[in-house]
Amino acid sequence: MKPTPGSLRSLPPEGALDDLGAARRSSAPVKFYQTGTHTVGNRLLAPEQRSVQASTERSNSLNSGHRACQGCGEALGARYAIDAAMRATDNQLIAVNATGCLEVFSTPYPETSWQLPWIHSLFGNAAAVGTGVAAALKIKAIKAGTALNKVRVVAQGGDGGTTDIGFGCLSGMFERNDDVLYICYDNEAYMNTGVQRSSATPYAARTATTMAVGPQPGAERGKGKNLPLIAMAHEIPYVATATVADLRDLEAKVEKAMSIHGARYLHVLVPCPLGWGSASHDTIKLARLARETGIFPVFEAEHGEVTQVTKLRHRVPVEDYLKPQKRFAHLFASGGKAGHPEMLARIQADADRNIRRFKLLDQTLTETVAN
């Protein structure tokens, strides 16, 4: 059949149908690649294999109409995580939200984009408020004569409200093993108030309070906190890291966390185009590169021990991750300036240390890199 101009887009590549027929005749399974959204490719999967975001029955907990910046990683992360938690709890969920970007862009009084019971806490007490909600639900269950309340609690905030201002409340929640999942959406600075440094800001990054001046420009080395490791030190039931670059991994970790009772912590890397000085269309790319360089290890831990890591498919130099971000522009030679290769070397060394520490490379890939 000769195609008409209007039908060209719907035709498969030449030979594709022959390849598919051959695969069906053989014992080899057919692998579908475009399965992340509600597309033809996703509908070829069995319903239980589809992502939450691919389902027309998703809760849309963070709905349209919010005021996040274009390419906002936090908006993506929150939508993915809370929709997954809603499905895992059969929509029986209460969310507590610290002050910060997520609260400001989603709920400018008297409007809101949230479609679930949602509580705005102070900047630093989301974990404590979540603990109070969980305690109230526990008392209600006891009075009703049931062991557990079906309603679950998620507390969430940015890195400033988590690693800095809310750190004490969060540690208390961990120590008491309160039945709350705390999610930190980490964009590595106080973005809502003008891009000031937080204790999650990486070494050498330019912010409004760590200017790119002097012999060692940007954020100082040796400062900050690694919250996932601190959470592991509390030996709580579940700790995990994730990025917005891997939707299925993030959803799976939220669903696993909601299947567990006690304190749980999920740390999600969410690139911020405004604060990072990156293109809005590079949000997913940067999140993926953070993982593939070893700068942001993706893993799971239970009761203080690492149980699962996401291996690197291919090792990427840190320059590939840093160059698209203007907050690191001073590290590279440009316009007659020499740059800071010694600082790049330290960042690469930190990434290499993460790769060794979390065993992010398979042995065969490790040997290939060494050679």
pLDDT in tens, the chain (371 residues): 444 444 444 444 555 455 555 545 555 565 555 555 545 456 667 777 778 888 888 899 999 999 999 999 999 999 999 999 999 999 999 999 999 999 999 999 899 999 999 999 999 999 999 999 999 999 999 999 998 899 999 999 999 999 999 999 999 999 999 999 999 999 999 999 999 999 999 999 999 999 999 999 999 999 999 999 999 999 999 999 999 999 899 999 999 999 999 999 999 999 999 999 999 999 999 999 999 999 999 999 999 999 999 999 889 999 999 999 999 999 999 888 889 999 999 999 999 999 999 999 986 555 444 44
Three state DSSP letters for 79-120: HHHHHHHHHHCCCCEEEEECCCHHHHHHCCCCCCCECCCEEE
CA–CA separation, 21 and 14 (whole Å): 13
Which amino acid is it at 245?
A: A
Query: Which pTM value belongs to this model?
Result: 0.87
152, β-bridge pairs: 93
> What is the pLDDT, as a whole number, of residue 338?
86
> What is the pLDDT, as a whole number, of residue 4?
47
CATH code for residues 62-370: 3.40.50.970
CA torsion through residues 309, 314, 315, 319, sign: negative
CA–CA separation, 354 and 168 (whole Å): 26
CA–CA separation, 149 and 142 (whole Å): 9
CA–CA separation, 47 and 115 (whole Å): 24
> What is the pLDDT, as a whole number, of residue 238?
98
Q: Other CB atoms closer than 10 Å to residue 143's CB: what's the count?
A: 8
Is 184:159 a contact under the CB 8 Å cutoff? yes
Lookup: tokens for 183? 């999610």
> What is the pLDDT, as a whole number, of residue 9?
41
Total residue count of the chain as it appears in this document: 371
Q: For residue 14, which phi and psi values (nearest 5 degrees)?
A: -60, 130
